[in-house]
Amino acid sequence: MARRKIASKSTIWKPDGFSIRETSLTKKKAKRRQISLSSKGPLMETALFSAASLFHGDDDSDDGRDEMEVGAEGKEEALEYVERAHEFPGMKLSVREFSSHEVNANLLWPGTFSFAAWLVKNQSILDGQRVLELGSGTGALAIYLNKSFGVDITTSDYDDKDIEENIAYNCRANKLDVLPHIRHTWGDPFPVSRPDWDIVVASDILLYVKQYDNLVKTVYFLLKEYKKSSEKSGCSTITDKSGTQVPAKSPMFLISWRRRIGKDQLLFFTRCKNAGLEVHDLGDLVYLVRMKS
């Protein structure tokens, strides 16, 4: 059964300083709600996270659908959204997030905001560069970078129509032309054979250890097969956590993470090194990954 988007009517009320739009609608006999919050930073307790089926182990017994998307009668429910106003450095963005999604957490995590702040302080590295974001989710970071600095940025995420359409929705909600988007599942052949993105960025995409090898494979391809699209050198320096000046030369992968729990949080960077990449800790939980010199 195809999933349907939700239309709604709204009423406004304001508890504890937040503006909440509660929407009520009926799908057959069941009532559905869509909540819109206006706040500073992410309020993740309001958006339910559901593990993605593609990350399940071989011994998982479900049929690949998210349990919150299947109703009592065994029929798929309509997608639910949470739409909130989020504070980014210098601007507020309206972002629609999935309350639950079959293959994508699709929420704004803390790393997005800290990475945005870090990029503001180091915006010279973005000057004139073509950027690709992996695991774009809602597209909020890409929207922010385009609106703030005019960055030529392409979004990408799991090969899923709903994710792509939601990113497009968020672009339009923030008065921005829809950004180019690439559907790609990490580890699969990349749809562009000669990538020409000078910088690849990502934030809070290290939640699933089972996907680390696939992510490394994709990052390695994007860096190794990079083909410069302009004469601009795209080289500056960044001071890493130890105080060393690190050349920020294209191509490079910049990743910020904050949402990762447990001793395996650095496994991804170990696997990058094992694949022939070098990793620099830039501080503030931001890392630079590039081909070994």
Residue 135 has pLDDT above 80, yes or no: yes
Higher pLDDT, 189 or 266: 189
Residue 232 has pLDDT above 80, yes or no: no
Taking only the tens place, the pLDDT of each residue in 248-264 is 889 999 999 876 545 66
- With a CB cutoff of 8 Å and minimum separation 6, the contacts of 19 are 12, 36, 37, 38, 85
246 pLDDT band, cuts 50/70/90, is confident
What H or E segment, with its residue span, contains residue 24? strand 19-27
Residue 244 has pLDDT above 60, yes or no: yes
CA proximity to 162, closest of 85, 71, 98? 98
122 pLDDT band, cuts 50/70/90, is very high
Higher pLDDT, 63 or 225: 225
Taking only the tens place, the pLDDT of each residue in 30-60 is 333 344 444 444 433 333 333 333 333 343 3
Residues 227, 229, 231, 234, Cα dihedral to 10°: -70
- Residue 214, pLDDT score: 96
9 pLDDT band, cuts 50/70/90, is very low
- Residue 277, pLDDT score: 97
CA proximity to 195, closest of 140, 144, 254, 154? 154
Q: How far apart are alpha carbons 254 and 150 in whole angstroms?
A: 18
Q: Helix 161-173 to helix 140-149 angle, to the nearest 10 degrees?
A: 40
Q: Quickly list DSSP for 263-290.
A: GGGGHHHHHHHHTTEEEEE-STTEEEEE
Q: How far apart are alpha carbons 229 and 197 in whole angstroms?
A: 8
Taking only the tens place, the pLDDT of each residue in 147-189 is 999 999 999 999 989 999 999 999 999 999 999 999 999 999 9
140 pLDDT band, cuts 50/70/90, is very high
Main-chain dihedrals φ then ψ at residue 273, nearest 5 degrees: -65, -40
